[in-house]
Amino acid sequence: MENIKEKIEELRKTLRYHSDRYYNDDAPEIEDYEYDMMMRELKALEEAHPEFDDPDSPTKRVGGKADNSFNSITHTVRMESLQDAFSKDEIFDFDKRVKDTVDNVHYVVEPKIDGLSVSLEYINGVFSRGSTRGDGDVGEDVSGNIRVIRNVPLKLNKAIPYIEVRGEVYMPKKSFNRVVDRQLINGEKPFKNPRNAAAGSLRQKDSVVTASRGLDIFVFNVQQVEGVTLNSHKESLDFLKELGFNTIPFYKRVDSIEKAFECVEQIGEQRGELEFDIDGAVIKVDDFSERELLGSTSKFPKWAVAFKYPPEEKQTELIDIEMAVGRTGVLTPTAVLNPVHLAGTTVSRATLHNQDFINEKGVNIGDIVTVRKAGDIIPEVLCVNEKRSEGNFVFPEVCPSCGEKVVREEGEAAIRCINPECPAQLLRNLIHFCSRDAMDIEGLGPSIIETFVDNGFIEKTSDIYHLNETEIAKLEGFKETSANNIITSVEKSKEQDLGKLIFALGIRHIGAKAAKLLADEFRDIDSIINASVEDILNIEGFGLIMAESVVDFFSNESARQLIDELKAAGVNMNSKSVIKDNRFEGMTFVLTGTLEHYKRSEASKIIESFGGKTSSSVSKKTSYVLSGEASGSKLDKANALGVPVINEAEFEEMIKDD
């Protein structure tokens, strides 16, 4: 009995973790199917052992909780989740339970959109508020972001006194692919699938970002309404369509559970061809008065059930493995498959993730493998069914794009190319090189850089310093003035400090602060290039991984060639930091609050000019905290640790000339 209790507690703990990752972090770690199976196992154990009942069990709660980033909203009508079914027998059992209470039942069948559930409220036909489901009782006010979704009507076709509807915000597959492409260009971690992309986009603090993501919505339920009487679900969906809502597609009313399941199967056959993701189909009792008789459990309505499609798996031959180089330099293997029809589409390629994954599965060219397409856009290889090859596939030792040696850093699964001139990484590297914290080339933003690359103006980083003003002015959308401004900004960037150049090179693990420390320590680029790991480790704040990353980068012939080309173009290769004296040597300052006479960046430069350093966090090693108006948690932490706190007047005394 103790083992059963431990199993229940372990399942609850695991489900809570994965629920939080799914609903609140928009970063799931397991497939929906695995989650559903764990939930089903827990439910069965709880039913068999009521002595271990817990009102806070995941089986009794709706998924998410309100995000503190937005104001909380208490839903007047609870936004319930649905009971899941995974077989035809379970669907027919649902029908039997319904018929124990009502006779001659009619059902409405509709697809279950894989997105983020929201409530929309309208007063006199005008949009007034939008909120997320949250835990079903309390959600988040996301009205500003709801307003920018293209198919959310801000004014209805009829000015009814009040209506609250429920819908599913989703990201179309085309929008998802566009967003992921941009994330990869910017070196960001891409969204895993459209559902997570939709959730992350709807929770953006800046509605301009939300608007740029191409979200859409399907409305599928009337939560409450005034001034109109609706008697059935089918009638309500038709009414929502009249009001101007983008209603759930291909919903159908049927008179038997057999016909309902036929609709479920038909929807399942179409799902691979749809422009949006679905993870199931929903069967609902149509008549509202019958729904009232059936009622709800603490978690689910008894008048509806969601059939969840199982992940489809098929076997096929792995005929080749192609290596691609991502825009961050990571080498990614893709299995080329003998085409197989899977989840509504023909699949001929599948991800193999990395070398560790290949070794774990024992994959090589020629093997017969099982492929699954469950949740993610790109199918994946699950296992080897028939081993027809010797050993496992091994990654190449050189980059397939540029031919330079690839590296795998300790503790990382990724194998990557670190060549700054690798053609596969060109666009991302250029965007970083020109960014504000790097060479700060005003006017060379991502879209313009992309235009210049597409037109052949830039084929490698040093080409930035050979841009032709006349040729730029000939491009559509450019004029002489804008072309001249870009060239002027490029010329100005040649005078940037060495620290900015080091950061612009995009060396792994070297941020802007570490780049400046390198520049201040070695004073010129040649000294950095010739520095050993031991030399770099002498810099306070540098660890072994950072030091090795610098040495590895400059041991690359292409990196040294890039430096030579930048030198020839007239780019500054020396540190401009001037050390007045070393009064702050060995000291670390943390700045917090608003200073009256200095910007934080100005105060930091003054501290550095006296041999000191600045940090963004307070610790026992902090020498002083310089505190201005409206100081927050850093001041509290300094007081708790006993770190000396100085005000602006005391700081000015410390920096006076002797």
Residues belonging to the active site: 112
Contact 486, 472 (CB under 8 A): yes
Q: Give the β-pairing of 138-140 and 72-74.
A: antiparallel
Contact 630, 585 (CB under 8 A): no
Residue 312 pairs in a beta bridge with: 373
Q: Report d(CA 475, CA 459) in Å as an integer.
A: 17
In sequence order, what are the residues at sequence separation of 6 or more whose Cβ sits closer than 8 angstroms to the Cβ of residue 603? 591, 595, 626, 651
For residues 575-610, b (16+ Cβ closer than 10 Å) or e, as one string? beeeeeeeebeebbbbbbbebeebeeeebbebbbbb
Phi (first) and psi of residue 500, to 5 degrees: -70, -40
Q: Could you count the other beta carbons within 10 Å of the beta carbon of residue 130? A: 25
Residue 193, helix vs strand vs coil: coil
Distance of CA 370 to the CA centre of its chain: 28
Contact 448, 485 (CB under 8 A): no
| The total number of residues written for the chain in this structure | 658
Contact 255, 116 (CB under 8 A): no
Tell me which residue of 369, 361, 362 sits closest to 392, measured CA to CA. 362
Beta-strand runs (E) in 180-277: 216-226, 252-254
Tell me which residue of 549, 545, 523, 531 sits closest to 420, measured CA to CA. 549
Place of tokens 């290039």: 529
